[in-house]
Amino acid sequence: MSSALSALPGPGRRDPVLAAVSLAVGLLALGWAPDALRELGVGGADLFGVAAAGVGLALSWWRPAWTLLPGVLGALAVPLCAPDAAPSTARGGGQGPDVLLITVDTVRADAGLVDALPGEWRRWTHAIAPAPWTLPSMISLMQGQDVREHGGGLPVDGGYSAPRSAGTTLAEAFAAAGYRTRAVVCNPHLRATDGFARGFGQFLHHDDARLPQRLDLWSGLWRTRLTGAVSRAAATRDAAIVDQALAWLDEARSDPDAGPQLVWVHLLLPHEYGRDVPRPPPGWRPGVRDSGVLQDAYAANVAVTAGRLRALVEAVGEGTVVAVTSDHGEALGEDGRRGHGQHLDDLELRVPLAIRGPGMPTGAVHHPVAVRDLAATLGALAGVEGLPGADLRLVGPTAVEVGGLRRDATAFARRTVEGAFTERPPVAPGEARPLVPDQREALEALGYVEEEH
């Protein structure tokens, strides 16, 4: 190695060991410099950060003293390793039970997500999500309103609409009742800029977390940039989210005088069955199109997620209200379709819904209900007022308003009790909210928006 280094220009001719160390530091800087530069407001895309890191690498090779340049960039990245979150608010003397809300991206009602959860549950086999994709559906869940009522999450002017009115959210109502409110989530649509942090004293989003730039993440980071394959950071996303939620739950157990808390957890792995499969079935590879293989991959990701849900449920006592649902379903090859957000039908709208806790009856309910009523139901179980919607314990068979496709702001329907969908007139969307560049990139990676060329 010494002879090879001595043949190259620069400091290698004088001190090959120092040159090798300098080169190694420069290479590592390529892993963290782009994100560090972007967080500092320098450059709007990875290419700029990569180019800047490349300059640092070249300088570190030519003059070992310039190793300090990528080193400084790395030091600047260190404070960015912690999630970007608001400080937790103190509890205000609430008296109700702890509430754990778990939403899992892209889970069909027949996927078996809640079938093996420990304890006695109330399960609704025909729960209907408000919309067939994340943004309008989750606005509805958090505000207890149909998409027709809030008008948010509809495609307008290259972005999506904000809700027409700022109704009281689930977290705001619980915070007003004295709960500590916390959320740890992912999915580029569930951002504070889209209103999902409202009412949460502590709101952590995985995309905002600057993970420690370790060697095991560096290769994955570059694999993603060069090939589009999912990095280790993404592959461990849901596990990190569950770990954070478990830490909060454990903290609450160690402080019996702290009062109740509402914790919202959102997981993404079932959505990623075409890109990230921790237990890949035979024939699976990123980008595979075979419907049978993809169905097996989807089932594998749901099974992994079910195990994570069990860990969360087992971490709380019987006195905690726990609710599990999904934002939308998924077509898995039926009628040649795959994905979500394009149709108003049960493939993309029928999702799991299960609740356990004090005051909740057990057993299965087989008539249709609206997921948007989950917020009001959790409020009723916790003695929290001010949330629109109905208590699911008291609801009979329900016709459900649905609407809001990813690329069509005019599609609305009513799902009848018998399961038919009747067309409904469009509604006026809220004010347009453009996508910021970082959010657009994250959404392109998940297939939510078309890549710009």
How many other C-beta atoms lie within 10 A of the C-beta of residue 395? Answer: 18
pLDDT of amino acid 250: 86
**For residue 94, is it within any domain?**
no
For residues 106 and 53, state if they share a domain.
no
**For residue 243, is it within any domain?**
yes
The range of the structural domain enclosing residue 179 comes to 99-446
For residues 73 and 113, state if they share a domain.
no
Please name the residues in contact with 176: beta carbons below 8 A apart, sequence gap of 6 or more.
384, 386
For residues 214 and 263, state if they share a domain.
yes
For residues 57 and 165, state if they share a domain.
no
For residues 49 and 105, state if they share a domain.
no
pLDDT above 50 (res 19)? yes
pLDDT above 90 (res 74)? no
Compute the average pLDDT of residues 352-363.
96
**For residue 84, is it within any domain?**
no
For residues 44 and 190, state if they share a domain.
no
Q: What is the CATH number of the domain that holds 430?
A: 3.40.720.10
**For residue 87, is it within any domain?**
no
**For residue 185, is it within any domain?**
yes
**For residue 193, is it within any domain?**
yes
259 pLDDT band, cuts 50/70/90, is confident
Q: What is the pLDDT of residues 123-150, one digit of tens each?
A: 999 999 999 999 999 999 999 999 999 9
**pTM of the prediction?**
0.80
For residues 312 and 228, state if they share a domain.
yes
CA pair distance 260, 136, nearest whole angstrom: 29
**For residue 91, is it within any domain?**
no
Q: What is the pLDDT of residues 200-229, one digit of tens each?
A: 999 988 877 644 434 444 455 555 555 555
Residue 362 and residue 140 in contact, taking contact as beta carbons nearer than 8 Å = no
Q: What is the pLDDT of residues 279-320, one digit of tens each?
A: 889 999 877 889 999 999 999 999 999 999 999 999 998 899
For residues 27 and 159, state if they share a domain.
no
Domain end residue (candidates: 79, 110, 133): 79
- Give the percent of the chain with pLDDT over 70: 71
Domain end residue (candidates: 19, 47, 79): 79
pLDDT above 70 (res 52)? no
pLDDT of amino acid 20: 66
For residues 249 and 296, state if they share a domain.
yes
More confident of the two residues 452 and 428: 428
Q: How many domains, the chain? A: 2
β-bridge pairing 155-156 and 180-185: unpaired
pLDDT of amino acid 251: 83
pLDDT of amino acid 416: 97
For residues 39 and 176, state if they share a domain.
no
pLDDT above 70 (res 426)? yes
Residue 330 in 3-state DSSP?
coil
pLDDT of amino acid 166: 78
Cα angle 422-427-429, degrees, rounded to a multiple of 5: 135
For residues 317 and 178, state if they share a domain.
yes
Mean predicted lDDT score pLDDT of the chain:
81
pLDDT of amino acid 240: 86
pLDDT above 80 (res 1)? no
pLDDT of amino acid 32: 56
For residues 316 and 432, state if they share a domain.
yes
158 pLDDT band, cuts 50/70/90, is confident
| Closest CA relative to residue 352, chosen from 364, 334, 337 | 364
Compute the average pLDDT of residues 317-346.
95
